[in-house]
Structure 1
Amino acid sequence: MEHVKPIINEDGILKKYKLSFYDGELPRVEDTPYACPLDRYGDLVYLKATLSSDPSAGQCTVMLIHQPYAQLSFAKVGDAHWNWLHMHSFYADCIHHDGCFYAMTAAGAIDVFDLNGPSVVHRRILPNLVRMVQKCYVVQAPWGDVLQIIKEESLDPEQPDGETYVTAYEVYKVDFVELKRVKMRGIGEYALFTGKSTTSCFSAKDHPSLMANHLYFTHDDHDELLSGKDDPRDIGVYDLENDTRTNLVDPEPWRTWFPPIWFTPNLAKAGIFHFQTVLFLILFLVF
């Protein structure tokens, strides 16, 4: 990667990675590099990855949001290194849609990257939002529209401590003709999932256990997940019609070990071997 260099000892053994802090602006200004331990590299550097297609087909491209400054790099099957896209920084989410990658900044701007030609074609199709937001997500809905999800937090006036926040979500359709956002009143018989993993949208008719017109969210603040691994996670369900939220009651302390993702195994269709395999993979990812 552009910003990462291996630190090798006298015996030729990889000991750490040096992470350099700079972006694409010129003249280049670099902060002090960080010597990253091997066991923390994945947590610190990799933020989110998006695939263009099933990698088993052999034509897959991966778009990676990574540190420093939540920048973008991509790699195609067979590449020997990541290709740095230095146009902008502070990206929050990304999808692959109609042959291109659509990456969204933390402030809500959407950039399109066409990687199909001899050089990268980049253009910004939506500007940053004019107001401050806590988080932004982007997803392609099953009916074909691209949705932008905006998460906002504000102090709860009903709580005297002054430190309790109220979370609210808004959903917009991206109009690619007029190049604008169109606020939606709801998402009908569908449910949204947001968090540190891939933003998703599912049909409540196909999945009867889901609540239609609701958004399921997990704790996804990168810095908080790294520095407060034993702190409780903010996990709940948001009613898009009534603008209300319900916390998921989860007394098990193990949920604080790693960033929460939505995961529901179907043990009724899995043999004991498959169950043990899934359990092993979960433990492997945790430790």
Structure 2
Amino acid sequence: MEAPAPDWSELPADILCDVLTLLECPDLLRAGAVYAAWHMAYSRLRRAGIYPVRQTPCLLYCNEAAGGLNALGMYILSEKKAYTMPLPESSIKNWIGSSHGWLVTMDDKSELMLLNPITGNTNVLPRITTMEHVKPVLNGHGVLEKYEVFYYDREIPRVVEEDTAIWSLEEYGHMVYLKATLSCDPSVGGCIVMLIHQPYGQLLFAKVGDDHWNWLSVCSYYKDCVYHNGWFYAVTEEGAIDAYNLHGPSVIHKRLLPQIIQTVSKCHVVRAQSGVVLQIIS
């Protein structure tokens, strides 16, 4: 007599969760739809912000044919197959950074938020008008219509109000945001967002849950930024590398590498799998 088939629906929850964290993203979503118990385990991981630890990279792109701005296309390299993912009601216009499975996106008013395209979870970031160099422009009815940007940096007093630019709500993000970097998975708490922005490639940061952006008035003309082991590493267009620790009551800054080049087309800072921080120039 053949042994009865195992009842996979009765796997202990802790073992099931361990198995689910080893799956690629598409398999994880499929597993969550098999049994009610499996879906509960999947939901438990999702609420806790725990996702598969080993993932083949995925390619994200706007999928106009499947929903325009209300959907994203995701190409799974491990399957060589494309999927369409619906987005939350507040559709995104662009994204300026990604990490830990989350996107830093902006809406049609250039307001920033964090979006997990797989789970649909979101976190709102501080409003644009809390940035020190931005002033709201209202129409005759008191409705926000444009943003006025003041062109000053650490060398110019904050009271200077001469050189300015005025952008429409949607134009602002495309003209001002350069790159956003996350310190960790926003689901686990304590996440810090570092933003490289115009004018002059300067830095702003905010912790998820803050009500305003903070200006880092140390240097300008940053081109790239990564996070590793408690520090943000930012590289300037001339090759200088600064390190910032933002976890304490005050900002800690270190200049790790002075200016090393005069002109360069591209300059990046990356973290190797070993944990070593590398500078790449071209």
1:68-217 pair list within 5 angstroms:
68-151=199-282
Match of 1:53 in 2: 184
1:5 correspondence with 2:111: no
Query: What is the alpha-carbon distance in structure 1 between the residues aligned to residue 262 and residue 190 of structure 2?
Result: 39
1:39 correspondence with 2:170: yes
SS in 2 for 1:6: strand
Match of 1:14 in 2: 144
TM-score normalised by structure 2 residue count: 0.52
SS in 1 for 2:163: strand
Pair member with larger Rg: 2
Match of 2:3 in 1: none
SS in 1 for 2:256: strand
Shift of 1:126: 0.2
Query: What is the alpha-carbon distance in structure 1 between the residues aligned to residue 221 and residue 161 of structure 2?
Result: 16
Query: What is the alpha-carbon distance in structure 1 between the residues aligned to residue 236 and residue 161 of structure 2?
Result: 22
SS in 2 for 1:22: coil
Query: What is the alpha-carbon distance in structure 2 between the residues aligned to residue 122 and residue 77 of structure 1?
Result: 21
Shift of 1:138: 0.6
Query: What is the alpha-carbon distance in structure 2 between the residues aligned to residue 25 and residue 91 of structure 1?
Result: 15
Query: What is the alpha-carbon distance in structure 1 between the residues aligned to residue 151 and residue 239 of structure 2?
Result: 23
Shift of 1:10: 2.3
Aligned length: 151
Shift of 1:134: 1.4
More displaced stretch, 24-33 vs 46-55: 24-33
Whether the 8 Å contact between 1:113 and 1:120 is mirrored in structure 2 is yes
1:4-61 deviation line (CA, Å, top 9, x unaligned): 1111122121100000000011556555211111121110111000000011112110
**Structure 2: runs of 5 or more not aligned:** 1-130
TM-score normalised by structure 1 residue count: 0.51
SS in 1 for 2:187: helix
Structure 1 residue ranges (4+ consecutive) displaced by more than 4 angstroms after TM superposition: 26-31
Whether the 8 Å contact between 2:223 and 2:268 is mirrored in structure 1 is yes
Whether the 8 Å contact between 1:109 and 1:127 is mirrored in structure 2 is yes
Query: What is the alpha-carbon distance in structure 1 between the residues aligned to residue 161 and residue 242 of structure 2?
Result: 25
1:118-166 deviation line (CA, Å, top 9, x unaligned): 1101121100114421110011011221111001xxxxxxxxxxxxxxx
1:66 correspondence with 2:182: no
**Structure 1: runs of 5 or more not aligned:** 152-287
Going from structure 1 to structure 2, the CA distance change for 1:24 and 1:38 (only over 3 Å counts) comes to same
More displaced stretch, 22-31 vs 71-80: 22-31
Shift of 1:77: 1.3
Whether the 8 Å contact between 1:136 and 1:148 is mirrored in structure 2 is yes
Whether the 8 Å contact between 2:222 and 2:236 is mirrored in structure 1 is yes
Whether the 8 Å contact between 2:234 and 2:243 is mirrored in structure 1 is yes
1:74-110 deviation line (CA, Å, top 9, x unaligned): 0001111110001110000001111011111111100
| CA RMSD, Structure 1 to Structure 2 (Å) | 1.4
Query: What is the alpha-carbon distance in structure 2 between the residues aligned to residue 66 and residue 136 of structure 1?
Result: 16
1:188-239 deviation line (CA, Å, top 9, x unaligned): xxxxxxxxxxxxxxxxxxxxxxxxxxxxxxxxxxxxxxxxxxxxxxxxxxxx
SS in 2 for 1:87: coil
Whether the 8 Å contact between 1:22 and 1:31 is mirrored in structure 2 is no
